[in-house]
Homo-oligomer: A and B are copies of this chain.
Amino acid sequence: MIFLFTDFGAADLYVGQVKTVLLQHAPNVPVIDLLHAAPAFNVKASAHLLAALTAQIPPGSVTLAVVDPGVGGARDAVALNADGSWFVGPDNGLLSVLAARARACEYWRITWRPVEMSASFHGRDLFAPVAAAIAHGEFPAGKAEFSARLRVDFGAADLGEIIYIDHYGNAFTGLRAQGLPRDARIVAGGKWLNYARVFSDAAAGGVFWYENSLGLVELAGNGCSAAEKLELKTGREVGISA
């Protein structure tokens, strides 16, 4: 399986072009869209979101991850194997949180370049052929050199920020919920939020925090938009009372 995690926009004309390349190079490998609405200009938030999603990705698969505002500039292209799963993308920190949290991780700097490569769409021209080659077991032969580490590394620690807001208006934080006591309170947008196990346990129109299905602290509203009520945006700071 090949997973896609990008800021290309689910409704835009970029994903189809990436899939066309994947289908030509790896015809029998299923491709799954994890997310194409990763925060476009916030690589750190995207890195934390991808790290949280990694638990949903079956071992042995390949993830093409592109949030790449510096495309065409000096940043490197990398592939890494974290606990048996492959990740391909820019060396701008995007892959660094999941790498830092893995039990074991190996890194390759991608040296291969296609004959024709656009300046702005490496997802299609560079990362997709490499992801397909990995899915076929043809990597890294002649395409990459082993590397000791990533150049940009955000580390394994949690991020006390809003990293994603879904279409219901629920706000994901970069805080992992495991180990956080249920009487902890979360502060965001100047308001203190209490814990609820699930939406229907909160009052109608009430805002609360809970452990979401990715294991993150999420700020949510029962039948309303938490992001609107608290005036939250991606990148906004959040804190823990405890």
Contact = CB atoms under 8 A, between A and B. Distances in A.
Nearest to A70: B200
Contact of A73 (B16, B37, B69, B200): B200
Interface string A196-211: 0111110000000011
Given A10-B11, A20-B57, A121 B213 contact: yes
Given A20-B58, A32-B23, A58-B24, A40 B168 contact: yes
User: Main SS of chain A's interface residues?
Assistant: loop
Given A58-B20, A213-B118, A213-B124, A13 B53 contact: yes
A56 B3 contact: no
A15 interface: yes
14 contacts: A9-B167, A10-B10, A12-B35, A13-B34, A14-B166, A16-B35, A17-B56, A17-B213, A24-B58, A69-B199, A70-B200, A71-B200, A72-B198, A118-B212
Given A13-B34, A69-B223, 6 more contacts: A1-B20, A9-B166, A11-B11, A19-B32, A19-B33, A121-B212
